[in-house]
Structure 1
Amino acid sequence: MVLTAVAALAGGLLAGCAEDSDEPGGSSGGGGGGGKGKTTLTVGVFGAFGLQEAGLYKEYEKLNPDISIKQNSVQRNENYWPALLTHLSSGSGLSDIQAVEVGNIAELTGTHSGKLMDLGKTSGVDKNSYLGWKWQQGTTDDGKTIGLGTDIGPTGICYRKDLFKKAGLPTDREEVGKLWAGDWNKYLEAGKRYKEKAPKGTAFVDGAAGVMAAVHGSGKEKFYDADGELAYKDSAGVKEGWDLAAEFAEAGLTDKLQQFQPSWDQAFSNASFATVTCPPWMLGYIKDKAGDKGEDQWDVAAAPKPSNWGGSFLTVPEAGKNKEEAAKLVAWLTAPKQQAKLFDKRASFPSASAAYDLPEVKDAKNAYFGDAPVGQIFAKAAQGVPVQPIGPKDGIIQQYLADNGMLAVDQKGTSPDKAWDKAVKTIDNALDQ
């Protein structure tokens, strides 16, 4: 199952749905009359966002016969996002509702909040129903909530039980979680234990960059400080993630793979690595790539520390023709009940913590992963994710640290210091543009 977070984090290489376009407003632009007295609400998304696929639009239309919903999808977020900024600036060409990936939300709260509705004041929206850190991401410093969260990506550690057994490590998910509970360095030590008796041709983890991203997502501060200033060069959390990932590489614990590349996909099928940091949306990805022979060989345990990878928001532009109706639809789509349905149908984990006690989440198990109680595992992780400042260029910094930095350490044996200097230079050049 290929989902929203993959679209953003793997370069948006996903097929869209409904009408494909290079514009966030699609071919129809803003909403308008839908014929026969109906109001047509347009929803601009990127990738296979899941709302339409889960049947939520049809359900809303049935509940509101005077509303018709049309989705406009752009395949790639790197095409969707710049076009959305352009249309926000001009106040034209917008859908009534626009989706925004978590890596871009800070740019809206910081510089474009005046062009978006305050959804926190919409009838039926209860701030207390949502995770505090997710609500804060979509809220400006002066308290205006411009984006209501859809999904999130709380991470666990997916692991191969068969490879762990051969390496003399425990296979029960509770015992596996205890190996590294509370400390990413314990994850490194578990990797060293694995290497001592590792099945031939296997590594402990897929690649160093994945470890780095997970550590970065678990700290109180990452690329920006609490004042919104760029701070990645001096951030203790960034240094911790970089240093630990480099240790994984230099200790020979990685399969030297770059995520979302064909070689990474093939490695799932070949069972060439034993662990990978994984949010809920990745479970379907693993199932697809590992195939039938991986069923009940994979399981999922808690990560050393709660971290988040992915997630999106829905916003309503002030320039829209149907703002009030659009806000009502956003409130309904992001309500706990609908988020639970989206998780049940599409594995998009709810950002509304009130959904965690609903049966679709609380009782959720994944047969492919040994009937792992994924609803409970990921709900616990979600509630422990730190409130972390995010900045407008988080995505660029993360990408270059991984692809222009850590990948060289992992695949070419470049010294961590030299790779860091190269990554910083690349980031600084990109941010100066």
Structure 2
Amino acid sequence: MLFAMPADIGPAALAYRRDLFAAAGLPTDREELAELLSSWESLEQAGLQLKERTGAALFDNLTNVYTTYLNQYDVNSVTGGSGIPDAPQPGGAREEAGLPAAGTAADPGEESRPLDTGQTDRIREAWDTAVRFHRLGLNAGLPSQSPAWAEGAVNKRFAAVLAPSWLHGLMKKNAPATAGQWDLTRAPGKPSSWMGSFLAVPASSRYPQEAYALVRWLTAPPQQLEGFKSGGSFPSTPESYASTAFLEVRDAFFNGAPVGQIYSHAALRYKGEYEEAVFARLDRIVRDGLHRVEAEGADPDAVWHSIEEQMRAAQRSEGE
């Protein structure tokens, strides 16, 4: 049964300020930079060098770092490249951690049980990565699409933005004065995608056939290509990625970068996995925590302790 049709997806890339990278003694050539920043560790080292030589932070905000890291997958991240993770074995995570099996007399009880590792290990790793950049002073703490972000972009307070094409597209609206000062290259680590959006016809529609025809038209490759060129919505139709029209798309805002080729590098290699509904709730809890660290100056360790308690509660309510 068809419930919705994909309208766009969100492969991530790294937008970077050519002037700041050059001032820091870092490469500005797209391919050379992609090779240098192929890992998160090398990106951290580049950020420290950039901070020391220019005074600018590496990233605009923690949420973009966290989300890009969290949503990394490739064929080696999932079983057989199918997109379906290995099924957890009885007692597996607890036994590997040296903990008693759940439900035994030695089990410490619901409140102090470790979180479901199948859902939270990746979240914790993404949190730790984002917070590390924050602790190293490599984060400007400017929320995307805010006046503060626009001012920071113009005043060179940060040098890079990890994001999908639609968010990079909004940079043109929020900081038009920086056009041509940015460039684009592949994001570090494994391919990452910020998911996407879908179009559906509600059951209450008075004109379901006409609505479905419109959805079919809007999600067809020609219309998706136009949406990508005008607003940065990346096509959900893989056949688009091989077309000459798509591969030749360049963006003057990003110094004429071949944006179709760069984003499709991640899109073609990304192998996502199914996520349970509770995962979205856990993700929102962590994002709220990142905001407290970034905007309120809260201690990351104390915030994470609070996040763990909230995630346990969310998982318990999901199981009821």
Please indicate the TM-score interval, normalised by the length of the shorter structure: 0.7 to 0.9
Residue 196 and residue 378 in structure 1: after superposition, are their counterparts in 2 closer, same or farther (change >3 A)? same
State the TM-score, normalized to the length of structure 2. Answer: 0.78
Correspondence 1:188 to 2:13? no
1:312 aligns with 197
Aligned to 1:168: 25
Structure 1 segment 108-147 matched on structure 2, within 5 A: 118-119=1-2, 146-147=3-4
Whole-angstrom CA distance in 2 between matches of 1:253 and 1:318: 48
Tell me, yes or no, if structure 1 residue 155 matches structure 2 residue 12.
yes
Report what 1:274 is aligned to: 159
- In the TM superposition, residue 345 of structure 1 has moved relative to its aligned partner by 3.0
Q: Could you tell me which residue of structure 1 aligns to residue 256 of structure 2?
A: 371
| Deviation of the 1:336 alpha carbon | 1.9
Which amino acid is 1:397 matched to?
Answer: L
Pair 362,163 (structure 1): closer, same or farther in 2 beyond 3 Å: same
Partner of 1:10: none
Deviation of 1:428 (Å): 5.0
Counterpart of 2:293 in structure 1 is: 409
SS at match of 2:191: coil
**Residues 332, 241 of structure 1: CA spacing in aligned structure 2 closer, same or farther, 3 A cutoff?**
same
C-alpha distance 155-265 of structure 1, shift in aligned 2 (>3 A): same
Trace 1:215-230 onto structure 2 (pairs within 5 A). 215-219=69-73, 220=77
Match of 2:62 among 200, 208, 233: 208
- In the TM superposition, what whole-angstrom CA distance separates every residue of 1:62-111 from its partner, at most 9, and x where no partner exists? xxxxxxxxxxxxxxxxxxxxxxxxxxxxxxxxxxxxxxxxxxxxxxxxxx
> Gaps spanning 5+ residues in structure 1: where?
1-117, 120-145
- The one-letter amino acid paired with 1:256 is G
Deviation per residue, 1:143-188 (Å, 9 max, x gap): xxx221011111101110101111111111111111221x222222
| Alpha-carbon distance change, 322 to 410 in structure 1, aligned in 2, over 3 angstroms | closer
Q: Is the 8 A contact 2:123 2:283 kept in 1?
A: no
SS of 1:299's equivalent?
Answer: strand
Q: Partners of 1:267 and 1:247 in 2: how far apart?
A: 21
Q: CA deviation at 1:418?
A: 1.7
2:269 is aligned to 384
Shift of 1:280: 1.1
1:415: how far off? 4.0
- Of residues 223, 235, 240 in structure 2, which corresponds to 1:338? 223
Deviation at 1:225, TM superposition (A): 6.8
What is the SS of the residue equivalent to 2:65? helix
1:429 Cα offset (Å): 5.3
Q: What is the match of residue 121 of structure 2? A: 236
In structure 2, the CA distance between the partners of 1:310 and 1:389, relative to structure 1 (3 Å rule), is closer
Amino acid at match of 1:194: L
Aligned mates of 1:195, 1:360 — CA distance in 2: 39
Counterpart of 1:423 in structure 2: which amino acid? I
Matches within 5 A, 1:97-112: none
Kept in 2: contact 1:298–1:369 (CA 8 A): yes
Instruction: Tell me which amino acid in the other structure corresponds to 1:172.
Output: D
Cα deviation 1:217-274 (Å, max 9, x = unaligned): 11458xx97779x946863322221111111111111112333333223212222100
Q: Is the Cα contact below 8 Å between 1:207 and 1:257 reproduced in 2? A: yes
- Give the 3-state SS of the residue equivalent to 2:277 in structure 1: coil
Aligned: 1:349 with 2:234: yes
Partner of 2:105: none
RCO comparison, higher one (Cα < 8 Å, 6+):
2
1:424 is paired with a residue whose SS is helix
Shift of 1:374: 0.2
Deviation at 1:210, TM superposition (A): 1.8
Q: Which amino acid aligns with 2:49?
A: R
Residue of structure 2 in register with 1:422 after alignment: 306
CA distance in 1, matches of 2:278, 2:13: 25
Residue identity matched to 1:242: W
SS of aligned partner of 1:150:
strand
- Report which stretch shifted further, 359-368 or 418-427: 418-427
CA distance, structure 2, for counterparts of residue 278 and residue 356 of structure 1: 19
- TM-fit CA distance, 1:209: 2.6
Rounded Cα–Cα distance in structure 2 between residues aligned with 1:397 and 1:186: 29
- Please provide the CA RMSD for this pair: 2.7
Task: Supply the AA of the counterpart residue of 1:339.
Answer: Q
The alpha-carbon distance between structure 1 residues 243 and 233, as it changes in their structure 2 partners (threshold 3 A), is: farther
Distance, in Å, in 1 between the alignment partners of 2:66 and 2:207 is: 43
Contact 2:5 2:198 in 1 (8 A): yes
Using the TM superposition, give the Cα deviation of residue 286 of structure 1 relative to its aligned residue in structure 2, in angstroms.
1.4
1:88 alignment counterpart: none
Match of 1:256 in 2: 141
**Partners of 1:372 and 1:303 in 2: how far apart?**
14
Closer, same or farther in 2 for the Cα pair 1:418/1:314, shift >3 Å? same
State the identity as a percent: 35
